[in-house]
């Protein structure tokens, strides 16, 4: 046991003392936050630039009703369609909108020299549909006051648990589920590969021969796995603290800032930006109401459980590789497929958290770390605690099974040189006593 502790200490301190470890540990949370903020900015305002549209309105209705928006500017002109097609200033305008008149077919035309993008096309279509609808309502005898009452307020759907009445947000649960599942997917691959590279390096440099003269191969493998696990756990704990500080400070500030931009008494005249802010406020309030203690504890459990399960397999793969590091590709494929499958199942589980494939994926040990963490924000722990317990027990059992299998392969493969080992031969080692 003392020898295993020495190996654990060596693996841990060797990695933690590296400057790259300190820099990446502190930098990655800010990179994730910056990437999320940049993605949001691009999605909200950077998808299209301002477009200038020339409008030829033969109906006489749209000129007084078609208003400029933040990204689309309209300029009405007179003349013939053919003349405008040939004399349109291509440098000044992006497209020509032709309105022949409001008939049953609504044959509007949008003519361009270069593609204006699907977002701009959708905005123009929405603007035209709003005017056509309003004109039809007026023609049906609906007054402007009645129209305001009709459009005064949109439907607000509150989602709550029927047992305790606690409100929830599927959008928030989806964000948390995707984030947790994606992080576990990356962690299991990254730290598992780290164990495999460490084993490969010691084997190819013949250091393993010296080490196993003092310790048993299983002790060496276990020391490496636990040492790298402690490195990963250190990083994860630091990231949890940093993200917790951001959530405790940043979310209330963002909520207060958006609240100042949304006036509930004037929602009938609220702009689309104010409506978007209101939706984001609902998400932020739901984030504040999330049981972060449960998420954090389960994340640590599934991180360690998933890591130990796959790290043992990656260590076994490292022991099979000889002088050519490229040999690891054929061995790692059977290991990475379940991880990728878990990521695919996660997308299905987020869409329908209680589907059969979601339940299976969250209990099957090779996919449960990713899939169950994606389902937890949807209230699985409260609604189906038996599934969470079964998932944890199966993951622990899977860890012992894979460690036993990897140990039998590792003890032979770590000392075998000069021969390319096939998966069939490695399988025979499992049958040995």
> What is the per-residue pLDDT across 307-345, written as a single tens digit (0 to 9) for each?
989 988 888 888 887 766 666 677 788 888 999 999 899
Which candidate, 160, 183, 159, 168, places its Cα nearest to that of 346?
A: 183
Name the packing angle between helices 272-288 and 217-261 (round to 10°).
Answer: 140
Residue 160 covered by a domain: no
Asked if 133 and 221 sit in the same domain, the reply is no
Domain count, the chain: 2
Q: What percent of the chain has pLDDT over 70?
A: 75
Measured from the Cβ of residue 199, the count of other Cβ atoms closer than 10 Å reads: 26
Question: In terms of DSSP bridges, do strands 51-57 and 167-168 run parallel, antiparallel, or are they unpaired?
Answer: unpaired
Asked if 199 and 324 sit in the same domain, the reply is yes
Q: What percent of the chain has pLDDT over 90?
A: 9
Residue 246 covered by a domain: yes
Query: Which of these three, 150, 185, 207, is where a domain ends?
Result: 150
Q: Which residue has the tokens 């005064």?
A: 152
Asked if 323 and 278 sit in the same domain, the reply is yes
Asked if 111 and 12 sit in the same domain, the reply is no
Query: Which of these three, 100, 123, 150, is where a domain ends?
Result: 150
Asked if 11 and 112 sit in the same domain, the reply is no
Residue 249 covered by a domain: yes
Residue 212 covered by a domain: yes
Asked if 180 and 237 sit in the same domain, the reply is yes
Asked if 31 and 68 sit in the same domain, the reply is no
Per-residue pLDDT reduced to its tens digit, 265-297: 444 344 445 445 555 555 555 565 567 788 888
- On the question of pLDDT at 399 being above 70, the answer is yes
Asked if 386 and 419 sit in the same domain, the reply is yes
Question: How far apart (Å, rounded) are the C-alpha atoms in residues 76 and 83?
Answer: 15
Asked if 220 and 103 sit in the same domain, the reply is no
Higher pLDDT, 417 or 371: 371
Asked if 136 and 178 sit in the same domain, the reply is no
Per-residue pLDDT reduced to its tens digit, 82-136: 777 777 776 677 888 888 865 555 678 888 877 777 778 888 888 888 888 877 7
Once rounded to an integer, what is the mean pLDDT over residues 361-387?
89
Asked if 342 and 243 sit in the same domain, the reply is yes
Asked if 239 and 125 sit in the same domain, the reply is no
- Cα within 13 Å of Cα(222), Cβ side: 18
Mean pLDDT of the chain: 77
Residue 158 covered by a domain: no
Q: Residues near 397 by Cβ (< 8 Å), separated by ≥ 6?
A: 365
Residue 55: which pLDDT band, with cuts at 50, 70 and 90?
A: confident
Residue 8 covered by a domain: yes
Higher pLDDT, 112 or 170: 112
- On the question of pLDDT at 415 being above 60, the answer is yes
Range of the domain at 253: 2-41+168-430
**CATH code for the domain in which residue 83 is found:** 3.40.190.10
């Amino acid at each position: 046991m003392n020898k295993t502790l020495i190996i654990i200490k060596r693996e841990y301190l060797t990695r933690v003392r590296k400057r790259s470890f300190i820099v990446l540990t502190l930098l990655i949370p800010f990179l994730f936050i910056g990437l999320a903020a940049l993605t949001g900015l691009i999605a909200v305002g950077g998808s299209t630039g301002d477009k200038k549209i020339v409008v030829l309105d033969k109906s006489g209705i749209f000129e007084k009703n078609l208003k400029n928006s933040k990204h689309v500017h309209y300029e009405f002109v007179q003349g013939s369609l053919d003349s405008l097609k040939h004399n349109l200033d291509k440098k000044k305008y992006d497209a020509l909108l032709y309105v022949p008149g409001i008939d049953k077919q609504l044959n509007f035309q949008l003519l361009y020299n270069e593609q204006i993008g699907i977002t701009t096309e959708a905005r123009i279509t929405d603007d035209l549909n709003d005017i056509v609808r309003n004109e039809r309502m007026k023609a049906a005898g609906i007054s402007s006051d009645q129209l305001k009452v009709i459009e005064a307020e949109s439907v607000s759907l509150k989602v709550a648990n029927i047992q305790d009445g606690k409100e929830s947000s599927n959008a928030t649960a989806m964000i948390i589920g995707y984030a947790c599942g994606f992080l576990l997917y990356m962690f299991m691959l990254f730290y598992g590969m780290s164990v495999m590279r460490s084993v490969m390096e010691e084997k190819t440099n013949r250091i393993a021969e010296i080490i196993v003269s003092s310790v048993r191969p299983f002790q060496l493998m276990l020391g490496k796995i636990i040492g790298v696990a402690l490195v990963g756990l250190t990083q994860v704990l630091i990231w949890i603290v940093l993200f917790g500080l951001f959530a405790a400070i940043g979310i209330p500030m963002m909520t207060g800032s958006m609240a100042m931009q949304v006036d509930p008494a004037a929602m009938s005249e609220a702009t689309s930006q104010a409506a978007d802010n209101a939706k984001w406020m609902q998400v932020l309030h739901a984030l504040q109401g999330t049981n972060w203690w449960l998420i954090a504890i389960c994340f640590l459990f599934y991180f360690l459980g998933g890591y130990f399960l796959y790290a043992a397999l990656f260590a076994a793969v490292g022991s099979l590789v000889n002088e050519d590091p490229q040999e690891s590709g054929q061995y790692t494929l059977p290991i990475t497929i379940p991880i990728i499958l878990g990521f695919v199942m996660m997308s299905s589980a987020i869409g329908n958290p209680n589907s059969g494939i979601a339940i299976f994926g969250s209990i099957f040990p090779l996919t449960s770390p990713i899939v169950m963490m994606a389902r937890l924000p949807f209230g699985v722990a409260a609604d189906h605690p038996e599934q969470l317990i079964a998932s944890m027990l199966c993951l622990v059992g899977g860890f012992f099974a894979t460690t036993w299998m990897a140990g039998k392969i590792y003890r032979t493969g770590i000392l075998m040189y000069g021969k390319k080992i096939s998966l069939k031969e490695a399988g025979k080692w499992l049958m040995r006593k």
